[in-house]
Amino acid sequence: MTERRLAVVTGAASGIGAATAALLLARGHAVLATDIAADGLAPLAAAGAETVVADLSTDAGRAAVIDAADAWMGALGAPLDWLVNAAGMIVLKPIGEVSGDDLRRAFDVNVGSAFILTQRLGERMRDGGAVVSFSSPSAKFVATTEAAAYALTKAAISQVTRSFAKAYAPRGIRVNALSPGITDTPMQARVLREVSEQRGIPEAELSAARLATVPMGRSAPPEEIAGVVAWLLSDAAAYMTGQVVNVDGGMVMW
């Protein structure tokens, strides 16, 4: 029988975050799911998750999640085991139009939330726990210049991962990141829609061009990515820390 673990999952209202929270619940773990979108959290609440609506781009939103986690752990009488930093947003603009506000917002959501929650919830995590954050193939090469601000934040996540992996290693807490390729999520649908509009080409043409960069020739459902997240959290990955794992159908092979 699998030992029940306590996991906080951010960005849990849709996409990979939702799939990860649902998978952990299905495997009998306790989940605190958070997102800015209340409606998207409802299915997880119905499945037994504790939910918190919070804007993780703000100090107040991060504090709300930390306070909720403290109360939740107190009620369950157990420390935190896992943290999944799946919250994220994307800026899609021609690179010459990206503003300082765009950069600040992207960093606050994608990097600031992962850093602060890994810092603060890591303090509350049991020795031997695990953290998984999300990088992106865009951190390693440029395919879509309209996503330059997003790519910048995902490169930063790789370093956040390495820094906390080093800091937490004496406690046996593993900190890794996942770099998912083209995944069937609302964010991916938005990329196709908005970038095709900006370039003046059909969505189908852009989608075909993107899939042509994937040796396996397909996108992934979010459940496939969630399975790798669950593996990284598990004891099966007990000797793995400070890594950015590519899960992208062969798009990146280094």
pLDDT at 2 over 80: no
Which amino acid is present at 8? V
Supply 185's token pair. 């999520």
Phi-psi group of 77: left, alpha or beta (phi > 0 → left; psi -120 to 50 → alpha; rest → beta):
left
Catalytic residue chosen out of the listed positions 82, 115, 134, 150 = 150
Is residue 239 part of the annotated active site? The answer reads: no
Sheet strands (E) in the chain: 6-10, 30-35, 50-53, 80-85, 125-134, 174-180, 244-247
Which residue, among 181, 158, 165, 179, has the nearest Cα to 131 in the 3D structure? Answer: 165
The mean pLDDT of the chain is 96
What one-character-per-residue DSSP string does 168-232 give? HGGGT-EEEEEEE-SB-SHHHHHHHHHHHHHHT--HHHHHHHHHTT-TT-S-B-HHHHHHHHHHH
pLDDT of residue 204: 96
Confidence tier at 143 by pLDDT (50, 70, 90) = confident
Query: What end-to-end distance do the CA atoms of the chain give, in Å?
Result: 36
Supply 243's token pair. 């890594």
Which residue, among 1, 35, 18, 237, has the nearest Cα to 129 in the 3D structure? Answer: 237
pLDDT at 61 over 60: yes
Which amino acid is present at 241? T
DSSP 2: P
pLDDT of residue 247: 97
pLDDT of residue 254: 82
What would the mean pLDDT of 58-62 be, rounded to a whole number? 98
Using one digit for the tens of pLDDT, what is the confidence trace for 4-55? Answer: 999 999 999 999 999 999 999 999 999 999 999 999 999 999 999 999 999 9
Using one digit for the tens of pLDDT, what is the confidence trace for 201-244? Answer: 999 999 999 999 999 999 999 999 999 999 999 999 999 999 99
pLDDT of residue 126: 98
pLDDT at 1 over 70: no
Chain Cα centroid distance, residue 53? 16
Q: 139 near 158, Cβ under 8 Å?
A: yes
Rg of the chain taking only CA atoms, in angstroms: 18
What would the mean pLDDT of 113-121 be, rounded to a whole number? 98
CA distance 22 to 28: 10
Instruction: Evaluate if pTM is beyond 0.85.
Output: yes
Strand partners of residue 130: 82, 174
Confidence tier at 161 by pLDDT (50, 70, 90) = very high
